[in-house]
Amino acid sequence: MQDINEIIESEVKRPSVFIDESKLYPEYVPDKLPHREEQVRQLTRLFKSIILRPGSVSIRTLLVGPIGSGKTVTSIVFGTNFSKLAEKKSVKLRYVHVNCSKSKNPASIFREIKNQLGLNLPDRGLSATELGNALLRLLDEEDLYLLVALDEFDYFLRVSKSEDRYMIVRFYDVFKTEVKRLNFIYITRGTPTYISSLVDDITGSYLMKNIVMFNPYKSKEIFDILKARAEVAFYPGVVGDDVLDYIANLVGVDNGGDGNARKALAILHAAGKLADKEMLEGKASRVTVDHVRAVFSREYPSLINLIDTLHYLPLHELLVLKAIALALLRTGEDYVPMGTIESIYRRLCSEIGEEARGHTKVYTYVMDLKHRGIIITKSNIKGRRGRSTYVSFGAIPLNELIRKLDHIISSKRLIQ
């Protein structure tokens, strides 16, 4: 029997195609933004008054584009660098990035801002209006200005109350102060037409005023992004331009793909992992187009798009999602009723020592998954008696989904 320390040491020392595979992760923020320079210019023009005339006006802008079009990373890179420039100009500006799939109402948004800034603000017992006023008082005391990016803001618009949308979009109509310390970047998926359909005319007139568009990437643009990441993620010579070009042509919008740079990076990462495995077996020394072909056929593009969302879901919502997948897989039906889902969910909770949530909470999770576009629901099915909520997925491979869910659920339980 091999010694555990020997196993660990041999794995650490074994050869790899990667210098640093984290450079291919979705959360990695690069120093440069290929083909998003114009968007950075637009953002600078919109927000420069924060530096030139701090507090004179609150700036709001809407970033619009499909998933993987560079909205989030552009916002982070711009916000980080812009706040550094402001500091040099003696303006105390902080960039704060809030994900609205976690912070779903004004109160939780204000708390997240407070947490990121390390401000001494009560967590409980205050209404959203009271929290907002308390936050503004602290900013006045610190003479601090904020550039707040609200990511997945389209989700917030879909699930929030009209008064909550009004509070966040028309912030200084609710919180009337002379010095305007908060400025907003709203990051949304979709098109301007779709976003405008989620709001009324009063809110929409403010929200749609300043729009920065992010179009899907073309093949040449995808190639440049992959090239820049490959240079810092892989050892020299293990990934040729033929591999990058092949992925770029698979994903580029001008070649029938969806122009999703995240998907392209996920494919390159998975191809590198496959090459790593084959290197250990003596079958490969570099990443090839064949590795990309194998990965692309295995990983399913629809599943790659879903993975980003899964990481933000709470543990019990993930367990409900797994219960839905298992129910569909085991019954072979196109749709499964809530009763079946709840039964499997309770068993999953029992297996891992978690206390199952009640019917109302499980139903809330199902509706949230529907709002996110992850599942499909029907209120009745032809040939079945009685009324119930029936649930299904779109074109997602269930076995692959369950495997991904198991990994994410295990990770979340370790963190807890």
Q: What is the CATH number of domain 217-299?
A: 1.10.8.60
pLDDT at 411 over 60: yes
pLDDT, tens only, 265-293: 999 999 999 999 998 888 888 999 889 88
Q: What is the mean pLDDT of the chain?
A: 90
Q: What does residue 20 show for φ and ψ, rounded to 5 degrees?
A: -155, 95
- Of 8-17, 130-139, 264-273, 406-415, the range with the lowest mean pLDDT is 8-17
Rounded to an integer, what distance in angstroms lies between the CA atom of residue 170 and that of residue 58? 10
- Per-residue pLDDT, 89: 96
- What is the model's pLDDT at position 304? 65
Task: Say if residue 1's pLDDT is above 80.
Answer: no
387/228 Cα distance (integer angstroms)? 54
- Residue ranges covered by each domain of the chain: 37-213, 217-299, 308-415
183 SS3 class: strand
Least confident piece of the model among 142-156, 199-213, 374-388 = 374-388
- Poorest-confidence range of 45-54, 146-155, 394-403? 394-403
Whether the predicted pLDDT of 251 surpasses 70: yes
Which H or E element spans position 390?
strand 390-393
User: Do 24 and 233 contact (CB within 8 A), yes or no?
Assistant: yes
377 C-beta neighbours (distance < 10 Å), count: 14
* Rounded Cα gap, residues 149 and 83, in angstroms: 13
What residues pair up with 391 in beta bridges, in sequence order? 336, 377
pLDDT of residue 416: 64
Residue 6: Cβ-neighbour burial (10 angstroms; 0-12, 13-18, 19+): exposed
211: which strand partners? 62
Q: Are 96 and 113 in contact (CB under 8 A)?
A: yes
C-alpha radius of gyration, the chain, whole number = 24
- Please determine whether the domains at 37-213 and 217-299 fall in the same fold group of CATH: no
If one compares 383 and 165, the residue with the highest pLDDT of the two is 165
Instruction: Look up the CATH architecture of domain 308-415.
Output: Orthogonal Bundle (1.10)
Average pLDDT over residues 204-211: 90
% of residues, the chain, pLDDT over 70: 91
**Is the model's pLDDT at 345 over the cut of 90?**
yes
CATH class of 37-213: alpha beta
Residue 346: Cβ-neighbour burial (10 angstroms; 0-12, 13-18, 19+): middle
Q: What are phi and psi of 121, to 5 degrees?
A: -130, 135
Q: What is the tens place of the pLDDT at every residue in 61-115?
A: 999 999 999 999 999 999 999 999 999 999 999 999 999 999 999 999 999 999 9
Residue 385 — φ and ψ, nearest 5°? -80, 155
Q: What percent of the chain clears pLDDT 90, i.e. is strictly above it? A: 66
Side chain identity at residue 269, one-letter code: H
306 closest CA partner among 342, 262, 276? 262
CA distance 203 to 200: 6
How far is residue 225's CA from residue 214's CA, in Å, rounded to a whole number? 15
Residue in this structure with the two tokens 């740079």, named with its chain if needed? 261
Per-residue pLDDT tens digits for 12-26: 555 789 999 999 999
How many angstroms separate the CA atoms of 403 and 226, rounded? Answer: 27
How many angstroms separate the CA atoms of 61 and 40, rounded? 12
> Residue 414: what pLDDT?
77
